[in-house]
């Protein structure tokens, strides 16, 4: 059974860089899937942040592209998100998810990690 587990800082200050990691178990990160990050502000809907394929190809949401980097670490079977210059608007539950090639239906999700940006 494939499982994803996010980890991150929890609480951050404005202007800092958010770093999140998603550990993949039960599958190889080199399998033919796209590995994505999705976030959900409290009480609001889902927002796709970006994705990475195992060999390094990436796609990002245009409005976040200048601040986002998603990378895959095959040696640790995990992938990561870096988001620079965070503000209160980046406060959200961050999910990692596995996307199937083609239409990217996300068939496996992590439980999510809450990130709060506050001074």
Partner 1 sequence: EVVLTQSPGTLSLSPGERATLSCRSSQSVSSSYLTWYQQKPGQPPRLLIYGTSSRATGIPDRFSGSGSGTEFTLTISRLEPEDFVVYYCQQYGNSFISFGQGTRLEIK
> For binding to partner 1 (CB under 8 A), which residues are involved?
36, 38, 45-48, 51, 59, 61-62, 95, 97, 99-100, 102-107, 109-112
State the minimum distance, in angstroms, from the CB of residue 20 to partner 1: 15
Tell the smallest beta-carbon distance from residue 46 to partner 1 (Å): 4
Q: Which pair of tokens denotes residue 11? A: 């609480």
CA gap 25, 15 in Å, rounded: 32
Shorter beta-carbon distance to partner 1: residue 2 or 17? 2
At a CB cut-off of 8 Å and minimum separation 6, what does 49 contact?
36, 37, 38, 39, 60, 61, 64, 68, 70, 81, 83, 94
Residues 70, 51 contacting (CB under 8 angstroms): yes
Closer CB to partner 1, residue 9 or residue 53? 53
**Residue 59 C-beta: closest distance to partner 1, Å:** 4
Tokens of 58: 């990436």
Nearer to partner 1, 86 or 97 (CB): 97
Judged by beta carbon, residue 97 or residue 117, the one nearer partner 1 is 97
């Amino acid at each position: 059974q494939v499982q994803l587990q996010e980890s991150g800082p929890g609480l951050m200050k404005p202007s800092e860089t958010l770093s999140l990691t998603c550990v993949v178990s039960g599958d190889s990160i080199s399998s033919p899937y796209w590995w994505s990050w999705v976030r959900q502000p409290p009480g609001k809907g889902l927002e796709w942040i970006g994705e990475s394929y195992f060999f390094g190809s990436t796609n990002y949401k245009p409005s976040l592209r200048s601040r986002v980097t998603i990378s895959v670490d095959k040696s640790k079977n995990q992938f990561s998100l870096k988001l620079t210059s965070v503000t209160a608007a980046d406060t959200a539950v961050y999910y990692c998810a596995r996307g199937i090639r083609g239409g990217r239906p996300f068939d496996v999700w992590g439980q999510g990690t809450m990130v709060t940006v506050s001074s």
